[in-house]
Amino acid sequence: MSAAADCDSFLEMLSAERGAAPNTLASYRGDLEAYLAHLMRCGRGHGPRDATVEDIRTWLEAMSKAGMAASSSARRLSAIRQFHRFLFAEGRRADDPTATIDSPRRGRALPKLLSEAEVAVMLMRAGDQPGAAGLRMTALMELLYATGMRVSELVALPLSAVARDQDFVVVRGKGGKERLVPMTGKARAALAGYKAVRSDFLPDGGKESKWLFPSRGKEGHLTRQRFGQMLKDLAAQAGIDPARVSPHVLRHAFASHLLAHGADLRAVQQMLGHSDISTTQIYTGAEVTLRFLPGAPRVPRAAPVSSPGGGG
């Protein structure tokens, strides 16, 4: 069986047994292809079934010399570890060459931050945009900041997730797991305004779509890339460096602002869809840094706030 076939079998396992999302599978495939290309460049005729510890060490060294961040190298190594464990478990090789290799050293960086004042300006500028586009952008912004959803979860929300006049949204996260996330009054109002013009974004012919944010593109809904560009354009209109803004930065803002107002860490963990609370704990450091951002409010930590967006 070829190296490519081994990779395909591994990816099929991730999809079938772990429920890996298409974006996750694409990321794994890219890491595997980079690894296989390195094995070919080594010139020793090694594939994944006979790759050595030295092959993997030279691969890590090559990434370091190329200036790749330690976090990116560690992510790639994690993918290769799982691949070799799969080959070993399936009996396709007799050992795991990654077992004795340490991950590249990396510090755990704090998330990029936006102050509450900066988010408020972005929300204001979204509301200033005319017509249906402005109503859609306002709904996207309010919903993202009110729930902390991942961008992949936001753009692929089905209409049924917010079909009724409810105080929460049903979010399907990693591995197909569903969670209920409360919405603010502002988010509900923004969604109501957007739904009145949603038909403007339906595919040509006005055929109904199952997506909350339909698009005329091949995916049928707004893409992550397009929404990311829309956010950067909005940041520029708000006088904020676009390099500081992305959908994930707004997810960080949601968590950091909630904790700054005294929210319970486990409640934030559940809303973010984190399986491990240690992933959420990084925001306890972020909210301390948040206090020193321009325009950051001086609110006592114990102040009870239901969500950063306010209302409802």
The catalytic residue positions are: 150, 174, 248, 251, 274, 283
Q: For residues 77 and 218, is the Cβ–Cβ distance under 8 A? A: no
- In this structure, the number of other CB atoms found within 10 A of the CB of residue 307 comes to 24
CA distance 131 to 108: 42
Q: How many angstroms separate the CA atoms of 73 and 130, rounded? A: 44
Structure tokens at 127: 């509301």
Beta bridge partners of 212: none
First to last CA, the chain: 58
Q: Determine contact, residues 268/88, Cβ cutoff 8 Å.
A: no
Closest CA to 86 of 7, 201, 29, 196: 7
Q: Are 137 and 126 in contact (CB under 8 A)?
A: yes
Distance CA 59, CA 78 (A): 13
Distance in angstroms (rounded) separating the CA atoms of residues 1 and 250: 45
- Asked if residues 212 and 202 have their Cβ atoms less than 8 Å apart, the reply is no
Cα-Cα-Cα-Cα dihedral sign, residues 274, 17, 144, 179: negative
- Length of the chain as a residue count: 312
Rounded CA separation 92/94 (Å) = 7
